[in-house]
Structure 1
């Protein structure tokens, strides 16, 4: 295998193409082989590129990359930032780290904190997206700031109840973030106890703090 060829993992931001960094966009546009979700391919793929959609068939995606890597670089688009719950984990299990180059993007978590103008250097980050965080990650401590990814099961109505069970006060502030960066973006502000009265948000971000 030609060691000079790379798998270039490009973070394409929270969704809106305005939030992809210029180097990432240039790399995507110049790719011979391009991997990405169906929506990303619809938004960014160019005529003549050999593409592969990321589906539940991750071994198939890896085979596409492995077959083409000897010929040229393979560009893999991932939503948000590649270093935060992305295909990068799977790629590192299949390929040597020196074969991988990463162009970071703006994560939905970073975007959410920016939208509420809240510094996040002291925040605890946790994911309810397809998993349940360890109790110590979400338990209440005075002054704690907690940023969470959500999914259909663990959502803006169920997560506040879980946090209350882990010691959060009923009047703690929540920011419930939906469709971040898109034209129909919505951010609901409420207390922990009033979250159920707000519209249900499934795949989004919730930020909790006093």
Structure 2
């Protein structure tokens, strides 16, 4: 297979929507390979040999193995590198034998039709992702783009979301994009649940302004490290301050005992403080938060988890802790220049114990480390890089979270 193979993206509008370069590649091809629905978009009088390949990845691989050594174009939907087959094909054929000519993705067209940015959206394909996993990702997203399937149409997506009380999205269903039959339907999830749509559709979900995430309805509660989605959290402002993986490490480093008195400074919606209170069940965990919205969410989360040792404190540190008992464990999370000053003030109240600070910037890392050194703490630093696995077709890819630093002090 020495001839260069071109992977050409094609839209629902067929040859009319292609660039001149893409048209010339298809016109000069002696072999055209693709799903039967894509081959139907090529004029019948095209002289090329047409090889329909509608099966899974193994059938595609078998088809490629038997390709004649002639100029070949493989047709793909939209952008072959966006939930398409280009990644698989380049691994099978070899990148040196392939040229990729993308078309506008129908996902890109859908967001253009509803006039919403998609640079921070959660995008996925229900053909390669289980619906339950997708729904849990949607729970905390601000914008969502879904390639639906005949087995999981927009109505089924709406039904699954509403069953989990996720009702805070405005929905658009974009059908037959780029064709004369193009249609965009919009409404709430309740109205989408009762409608049927063309199989060629993209579903876009936009979170209503100010809507908070609803927690997962049923889960097996853990002592710590509960999934992020079981907590009410403020969106789209910032979400949970401390993801579950970082929470686990921070709680371990705090060395909590049943009678511990702890402060959580900048507690957000309370995830870490609530789990700390479950460990320090005979002590007290004071969760200090100045933001009224996050404080309200913390109260609701605390009610759901039933942790009587948690004491929510609404106020700005350090003023908010002046009347609190001195802690033997302190967690500080947050951003901005005030973090080192808060650490210094908290350290003054600690006769002994552990302090853990979670920061995301190297500047704060250096400043906090210097502050703890000056206060006489023995300091250790952790940089945490977490990547969560996401299934894509029959493979797993890893989606990296932002790196974070934990500074641990003890005396």
**Distance of aligned partners of 1:42 and 1:112 in 2 relative to their CA distance in 1, 3 Å threshold:** same
Q: Distance in 2 between matches of 1:47 and 1:201?
A: 28
SS of the residue corresponding to residue 157 of structure 1 reads helix
Report the secondary structure of 1:27's partner residue: helix
Aligned counterpart, 2:138: 138
Separation in 2 of the partners of 1:59 and 1:197? Answer: 37
Aligned equivalent of 2:4, options 3, 6, 13: 6
Unaligned 5+ segments in structure 2 are 209-411
Q: Out of 22, 25, 30, which is 1:24 matched to?
A: 22
- TM-score norm. by structure 1 comes to 0.83
Deviation, structure 1 residue 139: 1.9
> How far did 1:207 drift?
0.4
2:160 partner SS: helix
- For 2:176 and 2:99, the matched residues in 1 are separated by 29
2:185 is the counterpart of 1:188: yes
Structure 2 counterparts to residues 27-176 of structure 1, below 5 A: 27-44=25-42, 47-56=46-55, 59=58, 61-68=60-67, 71-132=69-130, 134-135=133-134, 136-141=136-141, 144-165=142-163, 168=166, 170-176=167-173
In structure 2, the residue matched to 1:198 is 195
Sort the Cα spacing of 1:14 and 1:121 in 2 relative to 1 into closer, same or farther, 3 A: farther
Contact 2:110 2:177 in 1 (8 A): yes
Would the alpha carbon gap of residues 47 and 185 (structure 1) be closer, same or farther in structure 2, given more than 3 Å must change? Answer: closer
Tell me the distance in 2 between the aligned counterparts of 1:23 and 1:175.
33
Query: 2:278 maps to what in 1?
Result: none
* CA shift in 2, pair 1:14/1:42, >3 Å: closer
Determine the structure 1 residue equivalent to 2:300: none
Structure 1: runs of 5 or more not aligned: none
| 8 Å contact kept, 1:12–1:21 | no
Q: Distance in 2 between matches of 1:106 and 1:19?
A: 9
> 2: CA distance between counterparts of 1:171 and 1:34?
45
RMSD: 2.5
Q: Which has the higher contact order (CA 8 A, sep 6+)?
A: 1
8 Å Cα contact 2:14/2:41 also seen in 1: no
Normalised by the size of structure 2, how large is the TM-score?
0.45
**Given the superposition, is the C-alpha separation of residues 64 and 162 from structure 1 closer, same or farther in structure 2, using an over 3 Å criterion?**
closer
Instruction: Decide whether the 8 Å contact of 1:178 with 1:187 is kept in 2.
Output: yes
Deviation, 1:167, is 5.5
Cα distance in 1 between the residues matched to 2:56 and 2:172: 34
The answer to whether the aligner puts 1:208 opposite 2:205 as a matched pair is: yes
Shift of 1:150: 0.6
| Residues 159 and 61 of structure 1, relative CA distance in 2, 3 Å threshold | closer
Q: Distance in 2 between matches of 1:174 and 1:57?
A: 31
Write the distance in 1 (CA, Å) between the matches of 2:84 and 2:50: 19
In structure 2, distance between residues paired with 1:101 and 1:92: 9
Q: Deviations over 1:108-165 (max 9, x none)?
A: 1111111122221121102212532535532234xx0000111122112110122335
Deviates most, 146-155 or 40-49: 40-49
**Cα distance in 2, alignment partners of residues 78 and 120 from structure 1:** 22
Q: Distance in 2 between matches of 1:132 and 1:59?
A: 21
Change (3 A) 1:173 1:61: closer
